[in-house]
Structure 1
């Protein structure tokens, strides 16, 4: 699988290159500090996946993606962004971005996503029979679930309610829950908690963040409530988890 990296931060570029180059069967065909340079090489390098920042000088990541789509290039796109702004995510969804991940990104999460893309791009075995739902219901349902997940990825640091999410996606709360369960096998609000806990583990690995800071970063106003939820999920308190590492 061929990958391109576009980010104006040297540390991010270097870290991504090292991480992705180490994976068997993957080739980082280009590393760029700006969008125009990446666009220039797109046709020649034939990348399968582009990983790009959203805020860059001159030409933004969204502009890069827009130009890729205008050229009808069938490339999978992952956005890594330090901006938890849902308007960015909405535009990204409209432009067919596969995932919108917030920095600091968990390397395991990124690798898991890329491996999933690799399986889709280069299937090694015949795929199972598709769900035979009429009128493209399965495809539409999947898209709505993807949008729900992206909403969670952007809003996990703030207040998330089923009502707000359903309104954003123009669905009834009950239908959204049923759709999410059908396509993921998971309860929607349990997924929100699970995602927050995964993010909390990433932030706890940064010793400069206090437990109270991490609680706020993943959407909990009270550190005590966060610690209780964390212990319920992992059988240990946030401090115990940090000290164990």
Structure 2
């Protein structure tokens, strides 16, 4: 799978390239410090995936994505940005971005997203898979749910809930709750807790973070509640999980 990287920060650009070069089946066909030079090479190098930042001097990642979509609807695009502004996520939805990740990005998370794309590629070649953008479903209700899920992915560490996300989407909490249950086959609150717990598992494996740190980082303001919910889900406390992961 051919991957192109666009990021004006040399350390991040080189770090992503080194990470992906070490993965079987990944071919980094270019790493660029600006959107202009990347855009010139896209037609020639025909990448399957573009990993790009949003905020860059002169020519932004969103400008790049807009130009790419004028030429090609099928390239998978992953945004890695230090900006968790939902307006950027909304623009990403508009351009059919596959995933919006925030810096500092967990390397494992990026690899998981790329492997997910890799699994999609074979069916796509047979014509049975939709275009690369996640938001090809024309059902408005499903699009709103997808926006809610994107908001959770960006803001899970903050104090968020059904009401606050419904306000961002300009719909009622009851309507969002019904949409979520219909399209995701689970309650909003269950999804939010499950998402936060999965993030917690990633951070607990990192020795630099204490259990109390992870609780705060994943949106659980009460460490005791975090421990209770975690044990119910995984049949062990966060500390036991952390010790086991060493």
TM-score normalised by length of structure 2: 0.81
Cα distance per residue 1:122-159 (max 9 Å; x no partner): 3079899x9xxxxx986434322221110101111111
* Structure 2 match to 1:133: none
2:133 corresponds to which residue? none
Distance (whole Å) between structure 1 residues aligned to residue 160 and residue 115 of structure 2: 29
- Match status 1:13 vs 2:13: yes
State the distance in 2 between where 1:68 and 1:137 align. 20
Write out aligned runs for 1:21-36 (5 A): 21-36=21-36
Q: Distance in 2 between matches of 1:6 and 1:218?
A: 28
Residue 109 of structure 2 is matched in structure 1 by: 109
Change (3 A) 1:73 1:125: closer
SS of the residue 2:150 aligns to: helix
1:192-231 residue pairs with structure 2 within 5 A?
A: 192-231=192-231
* Correspondence 1:94-133 to 2 at 5 A: 94-123=94-123
What is the root-mean-square deviation of aligned Cα atoms in Å? 3.1
| Correspondence for 1:172 | 172
1:91 matched to which residue of 2? 91
- In the alignment, is the contact (CA less than 8 A) between 2:69 and 2:95 conserved in 1? yes
Other structure's SS at 1:230 match: helix
CA–CA separation in structure 1 for the residues paired with 2:63 and 2:42: 14
* Equivalent residues of 2:137, 2:143 under 8 A apart: no
Match of 1:146 in 2: 146
Q: CA deviation at 1:78?
A: 0.9
Q: Which runs of 5+ in 2 are unaligned?
A: 131-135
Moved more, 150-159 or 78-87: 78-87
| 1:234 corresponding residue in structure 2 | 234
The alignment's TM-score, normalised by the length of structure 1, stands at 0.81
Distance in 1, Cα, partners of 2:189 & 2:34: 38
2:188 equivalent in structure 1: 188
The 1:124–1:8 alpha-carbon spacing in structure 2 relative to 1, beyond 3 Å, is: closer
Q: State the shift of 1:117 in Å.
A: 2.8
Whole-Å Cα distance in 1 between the matches of residues 234 and 15 of structure 2? Answer: 28
